[in-house]
Structures are given as structure tokens and as C-alpha cells.
């Protein structure tokens, strides 16, 4: 089995790569210098120069730079959308001929902010809402070829990005609102990604699977 993975250098991406490698998958995971997801032309050229086929495609690359609406530019929105959603479309589209023959799995790591909003996160929220909608349509259009397409929305995960964008006090606040009382580990997310993209998943399609320790069940905003 062969897998294409974006964002493999991040904490969650590294955990996903480790899990799939352990399960015997061959993994292609170009770094951002080789595959610049902020640049549609670069992505198009990469796909033209690297023709390949995959049973599983997982999008874990992400960009989140907090800023207020009054200070944002359209370029900020565009960059977040290109990295978090738009150019993933190009990657999936290139693999459709193989999917039509063999079926497979497509999964994008989204966010709770693909469902709700958050102060100072407009580009991220816009891109993740778009990502969720795109995967639902993939599920509709590719389902007839036995391609299961889903998003996985982590809650708060103990990653470098989380600690970069939130101080220790804020992280404690998050933990106090999570019924399980702690941030997720990257490996917790990787386990669910593997289930959704393995032979174990034969019928979950078009869903956003929230993995947040119970946060959205009642803690959000309280």
C-alpha cells in the first residue's frame, strides 16, 4: 500500500508517518521546499514531474498565523487557504484515475475551527471551513469509486504550533475545559487517522471526525 502525506515534518504529521510506516505502508512525503503548498504553480509542477499513484492521501500540512481582522490582508487569507485547503485539491485530483480503478482513502486533518470561529484566526477559520466542505464533496463524487473521504478535526494537541500560538496560561484554560483534562498527544491523532484510512474503514465517508477529548461536547466557550 502506498500513501502520500503532506506536513510530515510537523508533530502530528510525524506521528502519522510513523504509524503508517509501522503498518507497512510506503510513504511519499515531500517537504515544503520540494512541494510549496502556498504556491499553486509549484504544486502543479511537482505533480507534473512526479507522476505516481496512491492508495491513501493524507493532508496534514497546516498554516496558522494569528492576527486581527483589521490588520489582515487578502494575501494572508490566500496563503492560509492555499496551504490548508486549496492545493490539496490539486493533489487529490491528480490521483483520481487511480482511485477510479482501485478505490482508496482521502483524509484531511482539519480543526475545530472548521466548524466554529475564534478571535484572531480569520485566515485559518476560512481555510478550515473550506477544507471541510471540499472533503464532503469529494465524498459525494468519489464515493462511487469506493473512495472514502473524510476530515479529522483534532481539538488541542500538544504540538509546537499549539505552544507557539498559546501561552502556558491559555493552555491551562484549554485543559480545564477538556473533560479528559489534558491535551491530545500527536500519536492519539495518528491512531484515528490510520483507522479511517485503513481496511478497517469500509463505510465512514463524508464525515468530520472530532478528536478533542470531549471539548466540543460542552466546554467550548464556557
Residues 186 and 14: their CA atoms lie apart, in Å, by: 8
State the cell numbers at 31. Answer: 517537504
Q: How far apart are CA 106 and CA 55, in angstroms?
A: 9
Cα–Cα dist 220/218, whole Å: 6
198: exposed, middle or buried (Cβ count in 10 Å: 0-12, 13-18, 19+): middle
Give the pLDDT score at 121: 86
pLDDT at 222: 47
The domain spans of the chain are 2-156+185-210
State yes or no: is 25 an active-site residue.
no
Q: What is the pLDDT of residue 220?
A: 63
**3-class secondary-structure state, position 74:** helix
Cβ 87 vs Cβ 34: under 8 Å: no
Instruction: Write down the catalytic residue from 63, 113, 124, 203.
Output: 124
Distance (Å, whole) CA 179 – CA 221: 14
Query: Which alpha helices (DSSP H) does the chain contain, by range?
Result: 11-22, 40-49, 74-81, 87-102, 122-142, 160-165, 168-177, 186-196
Q: What is the pLDDT along the chain (222 residues), one digit of tens a residue?
A: 999 999 999 999 999 999 999 999 999 999 999 999 999 999 999 999 999 999 999 999 998 887 888 888 999 999 999 999 999 999 999 999 999 999 999 999 999 988 888 887 898 999 999 999 999 999 999 999 999 999 999 999 999 888 887 889 989 998 999 999 999 999 999 999 999 999 999 999 999 999 999 999 986 654
CATH homologous superfamily of domain 2-156+185-210? NAD(P)-binding Rossmann-like Domain (3.40.50.720)
Phi/psi for 209 (5° steps) reads -90, 115
Report the alpha-carbon distance of residue 84 to residue 63 in Å, rounded.
6
Distance CA 92, CA 138 (A): 9
Amino acid at each position: 500500500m502506498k500513501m502520500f502525506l503532506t506536513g510530515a515534518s510537523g508533530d502530528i504529521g510525524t506521528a502519522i508517518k510513523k504509524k503508517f510506516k509501522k503498518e507497512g505502508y510506503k510513504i511519499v512525503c515531500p517537504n515544503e521546499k520540494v512541494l510549496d503548498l502556498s504556491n499553486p504553480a509549484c504544486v502543479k509542477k511537482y505533480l507534473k514531474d512526479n507522476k505516481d499513484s496512491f492508495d491513501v492521501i493524507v493532508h496534514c500540512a497546516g498554516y496558522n498565523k494569528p492576527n486581527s481582522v483589521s490588520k489582515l490582508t487578502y494575501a494572508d487569507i490566500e496563503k492560509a487557504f492555499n496551504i490548508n485547503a486549496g492545493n490539496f485539491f490539486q493533489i487529490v485530483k491528480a490521483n483520481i484515475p487511480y482511485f477510479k480503478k482501485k478505490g482508496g482513502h482521502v483524509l484531511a486533518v482539519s480543526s475545530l475551527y472548521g466548524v466554529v470561529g475564534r478571535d484572531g484566526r480569520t485566515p485559518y477559520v476560512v481555510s478550515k471551513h473550506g477544507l471541510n466542505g471540499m472533503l464532503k464533496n469529494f465524498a459525494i463524487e468519489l464515493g462511487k469509486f469506493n473512495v472514502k473521504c473524510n476530515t479529522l478535526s483534532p481539538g488541542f494537541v500538544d504540538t509546537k504550533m499549539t505552544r507557539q500560538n498559546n501561552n502556558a496560561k491559555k493552555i491551562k484554560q484549554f485543559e480545564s475545559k477538556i473533560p479528559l483534562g489534558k491535551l491530545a498527544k500527536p500519536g492519539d491523532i495518528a491512531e484515528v487517522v490510520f483507522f479511517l484510512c485503513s481496511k478497517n474503514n469500509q463505510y465512514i465517508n463524508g464525515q468530520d471526525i472530532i478528536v478533542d477529548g470531549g471539548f466540543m461536547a460542552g466546554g467550548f466557550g464556557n
